[in-house]
Amino acid sequence: MAKTHVTMKVNGAEVEGLVEPRTLLVHFIRENLQLTGTHIGCETTHCGACTVDIDGMSVKSCTVFAVQADGSDIITIEGMANADGTPSALQEGFRMMHGLQCGFCTPGMIVRAHRLLKENPSPSEPEIRMGISGNICRCTGYQNIVKAIQYASAKINGVEFQEAAE
């Protein structure tokens, strides 16, 4: 099958490549661009480990073709840190609140939570749980992931994070 030339912006850098139409975006990101932070979990659009941000939308990159992302602006987990390289509020939250155990779901969780907080900087706990309902974690039971996002929300809003009483 003839290959197609695609260009896109990934984490602020212009990138290009030759892809078959059937090449999934997640494979282009991991194999062509060597950005292996985006994980392949279920490959069936359920687990959210492959979530990337495309033009301001959280998208499961195992379910779009690289040719469809031609010309788009993408952020992956590698683009989540602050400009000076320090961890973002979300990354810090996942560390401080123990929002990960094995870490496999974490890139998708952070990229998804990034868009959630852009759209709603002060989500309630139910809004957080609904907001990450397309991401599956098999370790944490989600509690500490929710706390990590609450931590980031507080930091973004310049208020002190207070853990809810359990």
Partner 1 sequence: MIPGSFSYHRPASVADAVKLLTDLGEDARPLAGGHSLVPMMKLRLATPAHLIDLHGIANLKGIRRDGTNLVIGAMTTQHDLLASDEIARSAPILHETALLIADPQVRYRGTIGGNVANGDPGNDMPALMMTLGASYRLEGPSGARDVPAADFYQGAYFTALEPGEILTSVSFPAPVAGHGYAYEKLKRKVGDYATAAAAVVLTMAGGKVASCVIGLTNVHETPLLATDAANAVIGTSLDPATLKKAAAAASAIMSPAADARGPVEYRKHVGGIMVTRALQRAVAIAK
Helix (H) or strand (E) holding 16: strand 13-19
Least distance between partner 1 and beta carbon 165 (Å): 27
CA distances from 140 to 11, 101, 124, 137 (A): 28, 7, 20, 7
Of the pair 142, 161, the CB lying nearest partner 1 is at 142
Contact between 106 and partner 1 (CB under 8 A)?
A: no
* Span near partner 1 by CB under 8 A; candidates 91-99, 124-132, 140-148, 151-159: 124-132
CA distance linking residue 159 with residue 86, whole number of Å: 20
Residue 98 makes CB contacts below 8 A (sequence gap 6+) with 140, 144
Least distance between partner 1 and beta carbon 5 (Å): 12
Contact between 153 and partner 1 (CB under 8 A)?
A: no
Spatial contact of 162 and 111, defined as CB atoms under 8 Å apart: no
* Span near partner 1 by CB under 8 A; candidates 62-70, 73-81, 97-105, 146-154: 62-70
**Interface ranges with partner 1 (CB under 8 A):** 1, 4, 20-24, 27, 43-46, 48, 51, 57-60, 63-65, 67-68, 112, 116, 130-134
